[in-house]
Amino acid sequence: MDLYEYQGKELFARAGIPVSEGRLATTAEEARAAAEELGGQVVVKAQVLVGGRGKAGGIQLADTPEQAEEHAAAILGMDIRGHVVRRLWIERASDIAKEYYLSVTFDRGEKKPLFMLTTEGGVDIEEVAEKSPEALARLHVDPLEGLQPWHGRWLIFTAGIDSPSEQKQVTAIVEKLFGAFVDFDAMLCEINPLIVTPDGEVKALDSKFTVDDNALYRHSDIADMRDLEAADPRERLAREKGVTYVKLDGEIGILGNGAGLVMATLDVIDQVGGRPANFCDLGGGGDAQGVVEALEVITSDEQVNAILFNIFGGITRCDEVARGILTALGQMEIRHPIVVRLDGTNAEEGRRLLTEAAPANLYVEETMLSAAEKVVSL
Amino acid sequence: MAIIVDRDTRLVVQGITGREGSFHATRNLHYGTNVVSGVTPGKGGESVEGIPVFDTVRAAMKETAPNVAMVFVPARFAADAIYEAVDAGIGTVICITEGIPAHDMLRVYNYVRPRGVTLVGPNCPGVLSPGKANVGIIPAEIFSEGPVGLVSRSGTLTYQIGHELTQLGIGQSTIVGIGGDPVVGSSFIDVLARFEADAETEIVVMVGEIGGAEEEKAAEFIGAEMSKPVVAYIAGFTAPPGKTMGHAGAIISGSAGTAQTKKEALEAHGVRVGTNPTEVARLAAEVVGSRAG
């Protein structure tokens, strides 16, 4: 689960990492009030779960509350790479002398947390890693050993931070960031930029924070931060129904059992010239209730003009899925043509059930390829 | 021979009295797997289908000497269960449980690895050596004995490919589901190395998906270390970046982890990559046929 900048900063503050004071605003009036409260120059920052908001005009300086209100009115509703701005973070403006970069991420390859620190902050870190890798201090932390003071020392000296005051502040932030990373079950904690003010104060000017979905059960406060309105409405509906669903751009609704098989189905649809409308995994289920709920989600997408079921029976039995499909079709009216491919455990029985019931808009196919070709031809 | 599980496997099932645990332990038992014991704290003295249940893995160890543990306990207790098995001296742990927090698995991984323990999973379908032992939830009836080693990050996709191979008359030595989480105990490389050393395995079919860089690393390993032919399939060519496709680990971040880069890395090391499950099975059949001829 990705957090907004202001939510990440809230967690930073809880961990003791210095951040600027700010207020959340969802209307231009609130932005003005926030600017009045904060006093002085403020920054109006669009809150979106995507990069590039600065370039898109989603971050503006305001000298007065009136200006903050104007900027807020312009930024709210703005579409930044497909994300509509509905929240603003109004923050006291900071003077910037230097911009550093600090992050700790979950390195899947090494299976250890990875710290990265560079004095070339404020830009895309992948660019730094490519153009001047020597400027980037990278260090893994053994999760059993935990963070030790030497990790922080190694990072500041290797990155070339030479002011003693900055060294002290950055090592303290490294320690607190690692604390946040572990305590909040984060997959990514990034501060870019980590700024040094003209007075020599080091603080986090931005935050990028991703929390492990599997660990949300032990962080109900973070789970509550999820912005349900930011998700595609169908993805939201799917979440409520407990269906794994991802919206895509095409016209063919896809249901399958198992993430890998569904991904493969999308690829095969593409190969035979169709465009998948979604990823939808029924999981181990396939009973009538599960099928109904998945169909409700899929058919709520108006772009869908045909539906493909791709079921491989393992533990899930195909005859059960067939009964589920027939029950579901009895319960809800579906005008789209449906192609069903059943294979594996009890597939023959499942196909027989479907063929005998023979709903008008239902086609039964035996292989994944033939089913994909059929659904694309409809 | 086969890898990870075989006729010498003595299995203890952790979480055996749960709904899933008892169902699959029973299935594994009926397949012929030597299921020697189960563990559920507080249920010691009971039995499931004649399998004795103990309160702790150590007690099960003392009485029944298992050498493989299968973990079926709920996600929030799963890391603990793995530690318990490893601390009791079990050398192979197969964890079926899904939804384990990644930080828990990070610590587990770094704990078990230097101890030489084989950990498969979590969030995996398990390991099946047809005709010998089945540990996990893989539907064994789809598979048959033969020369193909199958390793995969995905469950049903593995069944699909196994089914297609079986229809072409080609059996498997061992099927290993390594799981789709960001941190899994065994990587493709770990399993490929075992298949390379296994006398029964003649060729390997590797089933990957988007996310991470394990397929790319496997490609280098295959180029440098493997004499046996490998055929691969990668799922997720049409997956959009930044969206998790069902598995927690199946996500394209930035330009990393796409199906295309994985395919190219594999092909650069001489691995033939099929574009759909049917084609992969056909490619495998070609390789088996040419070796037989």
Structural domains in chain A, sorted by start: 21-92 (3.30.1490.20), 98-223 (3.30.470.20), 231-377 (3.40.50.261)
Give how far Cα B233 sits from Cα of A11, A43, A212, A267, B261, Å.
41, 49, 28, 11, 13
Q: Check CB contact of A77 with chain B, cutoff 8 Å.
A: no
Looking at residue A293, what is its pLDDT?
87
Q: Is the same domain home to B151 and B107? A: no
B97–chain A nearest CA distance, Å: 12
Task: Answer whether residue B247 is part of any domain.
Answer: yes
B247 is catalytic: yes
Task: Answer whether residue B132 is part of any domain.
Answer: no
Q: Is the same domain home to B53 and B157? A: no
Q: Is the same domain home to B150 and B227? A: yes
In angstroms, the first-to-last Cα distance of chain A is 37
Q: Measure the CA–CA gap between A350 and A365, rounded to whole angstroms.
A: 11
Q: Is the same domain home to B103 and B189? A: no
Segments forming the whole domain that contains residue B7: 1-123
CATH code of B264's domain:
3.40.50.261
Task: Answer whether residue B14 is part of any domain.
Answer: yes
Q: Is the same domain home to B153 and B285? A: yes
Q: Is the same domain home to B149 and B62? A: no
Size of interface A-B (CB pairs under 8 A): 162
CATH code of B119's domain:
3.40.50.720
Looking at residue A15, what is its pLDDT?
97
Looking at residue A286, what is its pLDDT?
63
Tell me whether residues B106 and A185 touch, CB distance under 8 A: no
Residues from chain B contacting residue A109 (CB–CB below 8 Å): 212-214, 217
Looking at residue A316, what is its pLDDT?
77
Task: Answer whether residue B137 is part of any domain.
Answer: no
Question: Which segments of chain B have a pLDDT < 50?
Answer: none
Task: Answer whether residue B98 is part of any domain.
Answer: yes
Total domain count for chain B? 2
Task: Answer whether residue B64 is part of any domain.
Answer: yes
Q: Measure the CA–CA gap between B213 and A205, rounded to whole angstroms.
A: 31
Q: Is the same domain home to B13 and B156? A: no
B183 SS3 class:
coil
Looking at this protein, which amino acid is placed at residue A183? D
Looking at residue A334, what is its pLDDT?
86
pTM score, two decimals?
A: 0.93
ipTM: 0.90
A23 SS3 class:
strand
Q: Is the same domain home to B117 and B182? A: no
Question: Which segments of chain A have a pLDDT < 50?
Answer: none
Last residue of a domain, one of B95, B123, B151: B123
Q: Is the same domain home to B242 and B281? A: yes
Looking at residue B21, what is its pLDDT?
93
Q: Measure the CA–CA gap between A294 and A243, rounded to whole angstroms.
A: 6
Task: Answer whether residue B81 is part of any domain.
Answer: yes
Give how far Cα A118 sits from Cα of A209, A279, B245, Å.
19, 39, 33
Catalytic residue among A10, A91, A166, A190: A190
Q: Tell whether omega for the bond before A359 is within 30 degrees of 0, i.e. cis.
A: no
Q: Check CB contact of B207 with chain A, cutoff 8 Å.
A: yes
Q: Is the same domain home to B151 and B254? A: yes
Q: Is the same domain home to B151 and B289? A: yes
Q: Is the same domain home to B172 and B231? A: yes
Q: If you measure CA to CA, which chain B residue comes closest to A113?
A: B106
Task: Answer whether residue B128 is part of any domain.
Answer: no
